[in-house]
Structure 1
Amino acid sequence: MYSPMLSHLKTRLTTIVAIFLLCTGWSQHAWSAKKESGRPNILLIVADDLGYSDLGCFGGEIETPQLDSLAARGVRLTQYYNTGRCCPSRGSIMTGQYPHRIGLGHMTRNLNQRGYQGHIADEAITVAQILQQGGYRTFLSGKWHLGTEDPTKLGFEEFYGTLVSAKTFWDVDHFTRLPASRATHTYPKGEFYGTDAVTDYAIDFLRMGRRTPDHPWFLYLAYNAPHFPLHAPKEDILKYADRYHVGWDQIRKQRLARMKELKIVPPETKLSPRSRYWDWGESEARVNPAWDSLPTDRRGDLARRMAIFAAMVDRMDQNIGRVLTSLRQNNELENTLIIFTSDNGACAEWDPHGFDIRSSRNNTLYWGDQLDKMGGPDTHHSVGSGWANASNTPWRLYKHYNHEGGIASPGIIHWPRQIKQKGAIVSTPAHIIDIVPTLLEVSEVSYPQKWDGHSTLPLPGKSLIPQINGKQQTDRTLYFEHQGNRAIREGHWKLSALRGGDWELYDLSQDRTELNDLAEQRPDLVNQLDQKWNLWAKENFVLPFPKDYRIDYLPPIKE
């Protein structure tokens, strides 16, 4: 465990040694090389509601040069899975467990079931706690949202960000600094923006970590962008103001063409039809409309919503660039393991027009001069299901669901000192439960068999290091569930199902867009995978499903 007093003594000793080295002719380069030869620093970056194809390096038109540069020097994971929703995914990222196993099978409301407690379980252990015990400095800047009030009680020395889902990017009071006694930045009126501030504190935390050069650091940079509300600085919005008037149908086609050029998807990949959506509280689905069928004013409103979304992604990328600059300036980039991903697919809530004021059926049509106000401090918008469908190109569906549009994330891993196949694309299936085993392998910290007097849960994931270095991987089975939507993937086979619906069977080696349901042709395989899913669901407290999720937007299943 990190000790401030011990750190102070070590810092003084380090200073004395550094002076001695300078006096005896050792160079700063030699000192840095010696430091970098040890265990790596770890930077884990998670975006919020970012779609599979939003980044430039995954086929998107949004300008993301910083992440693109990481992809060019690292590897891209093109079959990298999440849990379909923010709280469950962030719980899995922190613990390496499937979310129901740690009480976060839904969100932060307690449903009085073991798998749906609404907060990270008392018996869970976070990767921050393990790394801290192994000598790492541990910091979190960004979104927590695991149902507890203080991340510093779960392994992080310092925290800045939001403890819940983002409500605004413009109000400094929405963000929290812990421990509460710590000094905070002062921002001039009108100059606070959440993504910038999260990065300000992340860079502060890196400076803290460098004060103890014999302790590597772990920084969890958990952005709440581009999650609604759609808020972005005006100069970034204007950059994209004209880009989306072509509409989501053209954007989807353009993205798929670039994805094929980049080899993110195979050349034979077909674009899925415009996805269905379920409006607030409705059990019957509708289909996203053709862009050209919408009235002119509505198209103007929706083009501006997507421009704000793009600006949020762009601004996040700019801020990631600030962090990378800090690493370069301190000779840390070569031996820092950087992992980037998103917690779920893009968010469709709740219809093609998006919502305003709050998450609900409310919608305001903006037109003319009103468009210039969108994205500012007095507004609250979502992007809607049509643009979310485009963000998840070429997949079906979105966040909440377990078809590929909900659970497929962009994945980037960058570690120049160790990655051999720079710029490579890795299509081996992987999952965010693999993050914890990966961090433990590179940090050389053992997973404890006991914690606070009780046995720890075995980790279901596996380290990503062998596969990013090109080693052949055996087939594995991955499991999914959220709000009754469910899936299982084993090798190239996948069962997917909507809440209350029958299993659909897909051969993802031929049909990852889930267009050709083979369930009737292969009932034996459906039955085999169904049995495996049910066994996993019982062992991980997924079943029985809650009868009432206590949320207005999700209607009860008809008996």
Structure 2
Amino acid sequence: VGAVARATLMTGLHAHQAGIGHMTVEPEGKKRTDVTPAYAGILTPNSVTLGEALKGAGYRTYITGKWHLGQLEKSQWPLQRGFDRFYGCLSGATHFFNPDKLRGITSGNEPDNKLKSTTDRAYYTTDAFTDHAIGFIKETGKEKPFFLYLAYTAPHWPMQAHEEDIAKYRGKYKEGWDVLRKKRYERQVKMGLIDEKWKLSPRDPQVPAWDTLSPEKQDEMDLRMAIYAAMVDRMDQNVGKLVASLKEQGRYDNTLIMFLSDNGACAENGVLGNFNIRDVKERNSKWNISYGTAWANLSSTPFRLYKHFAHEGGSATPFFAHWPAGIKKREAWFTQPGQIIDIMPTVLDVSGAKYPEGKPALTGISLKPAFDGGSLDRGQPLFMEHENNAFLRDGDWKLVGRDVAPKDGLKPGRWQLYNIAEDRTELKNLAKEMPDKVQAMSKQWSDWADKIGVYPK
């Protein structure tokens, strides 16, 4: 989720080790003094960021977009954590057209109070983040290596997009989430992305059947999803713009591009969304207007649950790596699991940068063997805890729980057990049938939690 995933991405550490075991302090908040270092809400001083690691290897380091790793003090900002240039938002969410005040745009170490559009349309953060990134790369010089962290806020709420892009998708979602979930699932199976033995999860019980909505409500919901689609579309256009620029500069073939999402679909702010989505002025003035749980259930296809949760709908996200000079072409999907703790080791491996001595040990692995056509030899399970939800994944087995790790201690009776190879959509809980396996995996999770500081909360 947001800051938690970014803390791990940026440092290679589990979020608790990096100081952001829950979330960062909100822009309007105060420094936390009544918590352990694992929940301080800022990156720990002894962590090493990707920027710091690569700068030591001679790279120019840039970030555009969302920081969300500490805002209250300037020492927490990107330029003080290893980055040469920064243009973006320090907070976790902003308006797309008119970001301002504590959720405004920062350039370097100063607020940008005179936003200028970088396109022939109105100022829009997705466009601006890309264009500033391209500008930074062009400043680098062809002989100097660079690292860019381009962190789009789209399609995080607020649901705001160019009207021209929204119009392209208006009416395309009037079949409704029930029909579209089935169609997406069928397409995923046909593509080989999802094994046909993994059954489509049922519609979320909170979500009404599409056919029970009035025509007016269906039209409103179609608009909500059209805006979401337009936000993704604009991001896609901008990724293409960045790629085109890399080609023009002769950098494309030897640039490793990694693309991923920080969490699963967002079901926040109402089952059917919130606020008046039809009034363009009102829509573009809200900073947390959303598409709702119903459409998030579609976005999570074929899984269940969402952002915040440790089930696949919250923790399984797309990941693409592209590097013409360094990755062998392959036809089949790569099916071994990776985790964001693997990004730092991968970047260190391909860049030749060294991780400083005396810092917290990295437990992720480099993904480069997969780039070379091989397999990953992890040798240990994957672990996660966030907002009392948790999982342990070891081979084909996944131990997962909702509210299994609350403040007053682990609740082993809340664990669920799934054979991911047979049941990736987590529909057949085997915990009661295999209590010994649950107990053994629970012990493994507890040992990990003690080591990285999940408790005390």
Q: TM-score, normalised by structure 2?
A: 0.90
Q: Which residue of 1 aligns with 2:180?
A: 251
* Cα deviation code 1:196-215 (max 9, x no counterpart): 011110111111112xx332
Distance in 2 (CA, whole Å) between partners of 1:153 and 1:422 is 40
Q: Which residue of 2 aligns with 1:51?
A: none
What amino acid is the match of 2:106? Answer: T
Match 2:261 to one of 342, 360, 383:
342
What amino acid is the match of 2:42? Answer: H
Q: Which deviates more, 422-431 or 255-264?
A: 422-431
Deviation at 1:491, TM superposition (A): 0.6
* Cα deviation code 1:80-100 (max 9, x no counterpart): xxxxx1101000010001001
Distance in 2 (CA, whole Å) between partners of 1:129 and 1:391 is 35
Match 1:460 to one of 363, 385, 390:
363
Q: Which residue of 1 aligns with 2:394?
A: 490
Matched, 1:124 2:40: no
Distance in 2 (CA, whole Å) between partners of 1:379 and 1:337 is 33
1:219-368 to 2 correspondences below 5 Å? 219-276=148-205, 287-356=206-275, 364=276
Secondary structure of the structure 2 residue equivalent to 1:333: coil
Matched, 1:398 2:306: yes
Distance in 2 (CA, whole Å) between partners of 1:471 and 1:218 is 25
Q: Which residue of 1 aligns with 2:341?
A: 433
1:410-449 to 2 correspondences below 5 Å? 410-449=318-357
Identity of aligned residues (%): 42
Conserved 8 A contact 1:95-1:126: yes
Conserved 8 A contact 1:503-1:526: yes
Distance in 2 (CA, whole Å) between partners of 1:239 and 1:375 is 18
Q: Which residue of 2 aligns with 1:42?
A: none
Distance in 1 (CA, whole Å) between partners of 2:327 and 2:333 is 12
Distance in 2 (CA, whole Å) between partners of 1:394 and 1:258 is 11
1:20-31 to 2 correspondences below 5 Å? none
Conserved 8 A contact 1:346-1:406: yes
* Cα deviation code 1:24-49 (max 9, x no counterpart): xxxxxxxxxxxxxxxxxxxxxxxxxx
Conserved 8 A contact 1:141-1:221: yes
Conserved 8 A contact 1:245-1:303: yes
* Cα deviation code 1:9-33 (max 9, x no counterpart): xxxxxxxxxxxxxxxxxxxxxxxxx
Larger Cα-atom Rg: 1
Q: Which residue of 1 aligns with 2:383?
A: 479
- Closer, same or farther: CA 517–436 of 1 in aligned 2, 3 Å: same
Matched, 1:106 2:22: yes
Conserved 8 A contact 2:68-2:92: yes
Conserved 8 A contact 1:232-1:312: yes
Deviation at 1:114, TM superposition (A): 2.2
Secondary structure of the structure 2 residue equivalent to 1:425: coil
CA RMSD of aligned residues (A): 2.0
* Cα deviation code 1:467-513 (max 9, x no counterpart): 23331333530111111011110111001110146000000000000
Conserved 8 A contact 1:304-1:371: no
Distance in 1 (CA, whole Å) between partners of 2:93 and 2:269 is 17
Deviation at 1:322, TM superposition (A): 0.8
Distance in 1 (CA, whole Å) between partners of 2:116 and 2:125 is 13
Distance in 2 (CA, whole Å) between partners of 1:472 and 1:320 is 28
Conserved 8 A contact 2:50-2:344: yes
- Closer, same or farther: CA 403–373 of 1 in aligned 2, 3 Å: same
Secondary structure of the structure 1 residue equivalent to 2:167: helix
Distance in 1 (CA, whole Å) between partners of 2:397 and 2:236 is 35
Match 1:176 to one of 106, 121, 133:
106
* Cα deviation code 1:380-404 (max 9, x no counterpart): 5201111111111101100010000
What amino acid is the match of 1:200? Answer: D
Deviation at 1:351, TM superposition (A): 2.9
- Closer, same or farther: CA 374–387 of 1 in aligned 2, 3 Å: farther
Conserved 8 A contact 1:232-1:308: yes
Deviation at 1:371, TM superposition (A): 6.0
Secondary structure of the structure 2 residue equivalent to 1:218: strand
Match 1:186 to one of 106, 113, 116:
116
Distance in 2 (CA, whole Å) between partners of 1:335 and 1:389 is 38
- Closer, same or farther: CA 446–125 of 1 in aligned 2, 3 Å: same
Deviation at 1:181, TM superposition (A): 9.7
Deviation at 1:185, TM superposition (A): 6.6
- Closer, same or farther: CA 374–464 of 1 in aligned 2, 3 Å: farther
Task: Give unmatched runs, 5+ long, in structure 1.
Answer: 1-84, 277-286, 357-363, 450-454, 547-559
Distance in 2 (CA, whole Å) between partners of 1:542 and 1:337 is 34
- Closer, same or farther: CA 379–168 of 1 in aligned 2, 3 Å: closer
Conserved 8 A contact 1:301-1:371: no
Match 2:80 to one of 153, 156, 167:
153
- Closer, same or farther: CA 231–416 of 1 in aligned 2, 3 Å: same
Deviation at 1:418, TM superposition (A): 1.5
Deviation at 1:441, TM superposition (A): 0.5
Distance in 2 (CA, whole Å) between partners of 1:355 and 1:495 is 34
1:524-539 to 2 correspondences below 5 Å? 524-539=436-451
- Closer, same or farther: CA 374–409 of 1 in aligned 2, 3 Å: farther
Deviation at 1:167, TM superposition (A): 2.3
Conserved 8 A contact 1:158-1:179: no
Conserved 8 A contact 1:163-1:176: yes
- Closer, same or farther: CA 303–371 of 1 in aligned 2, 3 Å: farther
Secondary structure of the structure 1 residue equivalent to 2:428: coil
- Closer, same or farther: CA 169–523 of 1 in aligned 2, 3 Å: same
